[in-house]
Amino acid sequence: MSVRVRIAPSPTGNLHIGTARTALFNYLFARSQGGKFILRIEDTDQERSRPEYTRNIIQGLTWLGLDFDEGPYYQTQRLDRYQTVIQQLLAAGQAYYCFCTAEELDDLRTRQKALGQANRYDNRHRDLTVAQQQAFRDQGREPVVRFKIEEPRTVRWSDLVQDEVVWQTQDLGGDMVIARADGGPLYNFAVVVDDWDMQISHVIRGDDHVGNTPKQILLYEALAAPLPQFAHLPLIHNPEGKKLSKRDGATSLADFQNLGFIPEGLINYLAMLSWSPPSDHEIFSLAEAYAMFGFERVSKSPARFDWDKLTWLNGQHLRLLKPEDLTQRLVQTWTQVGYDLPKQPEDAAWLTRCAQLVGEGLNRMDEAARVARPLFEPVAFTNEGLQVLLKPEAPKILLALLTLFQDPPQVEELKAQLQTLAKTLGLKNGPVMQTLRIALTGTPRGLELAPLALLLHQRQAVIPRLQVALDLVQQFQKGTGGVK
């Protein structure tokens, strides 16, 4: 049997990180088996579905590199097909019209609650006569369609993740609604018709759907459709062990993109949520992941989201990027924040060197804008930075630096020359380096100083910045009467 799997998101919100992870596991399984990965948009909830969410979902999957082989299929384009199957189930006596009103169902719920019973439909309209049905229609009632659930019965399946799962049909809530009064199909029904028609061999989804599976299995049986295999993945929990939610700060893929995670890092991390590779391989690509993937190493327990691990892995993947690739991505980030980047062809090499310097300590792309700021923007002094310039030794350091940078050294020599300069001035290295850093960047911390200084020098930015710092110091000294 050829492997065909699908991701079937509802476009009622942006691509959720949990859906992205389910999509990834489907993709890994498909690719590991030489199978097909299909995208189906479950948009039958017309009130909550929006085209912009569909776009966001498709863009997100594409950004992650989870290219689908078929689709997107849209449930709203298959409404006729659902009607045909509903009619077939009605004709076969496997489904029936139920005319209960919302009030009647509420009364039933209230009564069951008072008796301490679980809420379930009592199948009261299962055997209505044609005349009774007509009487309800004459009252203006519009029926839903319910699928008959045989009771008592045991439904079991061998789940690829959860192992043997057993349900009693008495616990399924009574005959289930498969179509609303307006004919619109409900999830458990539409999903079965779709998975059947699309010849899905493995249904891989979150374990929040385990309770739906027995209902779906009964529908497959009623339709004499071949059963797929099921794999229910444990959900993602936050570090406190609760289901990952909006309160955790980031839930949609877009949130993670905005935080500066790259697809390679995110894919690596998501793959390890409840799956572990066979070797102690921790850093791997999408292609390496599917070469290693199998359900035997998917755990039943929820994965705890670990921000530090994700950030670390992201950093590892940033450092694995080829220089041109890293440069391209950083240039994109820098352009987005509005930095005025040099655009001449001969500037490309300089930008690549900037990208390499910035990339050295980078864990997330969103840090790249802040860290690279001194390379592209005029200096803005922080308070901490000004404190350094107000030290008595600052003017003489700045003057000596101005002389040094008239005839700038190469990277390797610069550190040594700064040390010699400190000695000549009778100072330690620290104050010299700090003063240079503040003059060039305005703040006491940042990129490695010597390569940064040389990159700035190549843009003729060092002398003017030293001069600005010196003017500032001198003005301050004048203002406080401290002129030498």
Q: Is 353 left (phi over 0), alpha (psi -120 to 50) or beta?
A: alpha
Coil, helix or strand for 229?
strand
Judged by phi (left if over 0) then psi (alpha if -120 to 50, else beta), residue 425 lies in alpha
Give the DSSP H or E segment for 168: strand 163-168
* Interface residue with ligand GLU, options 50, 78, 209, 304 (CB under 6 A): 209
Counting residues that bind ligand GLU (by CB under 6 A) gives 7
| Nearest CA-CA partner of 451 in 416, 421, 414, 424 | 414
CB of 290 to ligand GLU, least distance (A): 20
Question: Interface with ligand GLU by CB under 6 A: which range of 6-14, 46-54, 318-326, 374-382?
Answer: 6-14
Q: Nearest distance from residue 208's CB to ligand GLU, in Å?
A: 8
- Under the binding rule (CB under 6 A), the answer on residue 57 touching ligand GLU is no
Residue 9 in the binding site for ligand GLU (CB under 6 A) = yes
Q: What are phi and psi of 392, to 5 degrees?
A: -60, -30
Options 2-10, 61-69, 76-84, 301-309: segment touching ligand GLU (CB under 6 A)? 2-10
Handedness of CA 369, 371, 375, 379 (dihedral sign): positive
> Which residue of 29, 42, 248, 456 would you call a contact of ligand GLU, by CB under 6 A?
42
- Who contacts 432 (Cβ-Cβ below 8 Å, separation ≥6)? 397, 401, 418, 421, 422, 425
Residue 10 C-beta: closest distance to ligand GLU, Å: 4
What is the contact mask toward ligand GLU in residues 167 to 196, using x (rule: CB under 6 A)? Answer: ------------------------x-----
Shortest reach from residue 8's CB to ligand GLU, in Å: 4
Q: Indicate whether 8 belongs to the interface with ligand GLU (CB under 6 A).
A: yes
Whole-number minimum distance, CB 187 to ligand GLU, in Å? Answer: 6
Q: Looking at beta carbons only, is 203 or 379 nearer to ligand GLU? A: 203
Q: In whole angstroms, how close is the CB of 212 to ligand GLU at the nearest point?
A: 7
- Order the strands of the 95-98 sheet from edge to edge: 95-98, 144-147, 176-179
**Contact region with ligand GLU (CB under 6 A), list: 7-15, 137-145, 242-250, 448-456:** 7-15
Minimum CB separation of residue 277 from ligand GLU in Å reads: 25
Measured from the CB atom, is 186 or 470 closer to ligand GLU?
Answer: 186
271: its two tokens: 């793959």
> Which residue has its beta carbon closest to ligand GLU?
205
Stretch that binds ligand GLU, among 5-13, 138-146, 172-180, 285-293 (CB under 6 A): 5-13
| DSSP-based three-state secondary structure for 76 | helix
Per the CB < 8 A criterion, the answer to whether 89 and 178 are in contact is yes
Residue 36 as a binder of ligand GLU (CB under 6 A): the answer is: no
246 is a catalytic site residue: yes
d(CA 209, CA 167): 13
Q: Buried b vs exposed e over 182-213: b needs ≥16 C-beta within 10 Å?
A: eebbbbbbbbbbbbbebebbbbbbbbebbebb
Query: How many angstroms separate the CA atoms of 80 and 78, rounded?
Result: 6
Q: Is residue 26 a contact residue for ligand GLU (CB under 6 A)? A: no
Q: How far is the CB of 327 from ligand GLU (least distance, A)?
A: 38
125 binds ligand GLU (CB under 6 A): no
DSSP state string for 386-416:
HHHHTSTTHHHHHHHHHHHTTS---HHHHHH
Q: How many CB atoms lie within 10 A of CB 341?
A: 16
Using the rule CB under 6 A, give the single segment among 4-12, 61-69, 165-173, 266-274 that binds ligand GLU: 4-12
Assess 10 for contact with ligand GLU (CB under 6 A): yes
Contacts from 132-137 at CB under 8 Å and sequence distance 24+? 133/97, 133/99, 136/99, 137/99
Query: In this chain, which stretch among 3-11, 267-275, 363-371, 465-473 interacts with ligand GLU, using CB under 6 A?
Result: 3-11
Nearer to ligand GLU, 8 or 404 (CB): 8
Q: What angle do CA 293, 298, 299 make, to 5 degrees?
A: 165
Pick out residues in 282-301 that bind ligand GLU (CB under 6 A): none
Helix (H, G, I), strand (E, B) or coil at 177: strand
Provide, rounded to whole angstroms, the least separation between the CB of residue 61 and ligand GLU.
13
Segment (H or E) for 237 = strand 236-237
* Closer to ligand GLU by Cβ: residue 97 or 167: 167
Sign of CA dihedral 304, 308, 310, 313: negative
Which is catalytic among the residues 246, 322, 343, 484?
246
* Contact pick of 21, 146, 202, 205 for ligand GLU (by CB under 6 A): 205
Which residues are catalytically annotated? Answer: 246
Residues that bind ligand GLU (CB under 6 A): 8-10, 42, 191, 205, 209
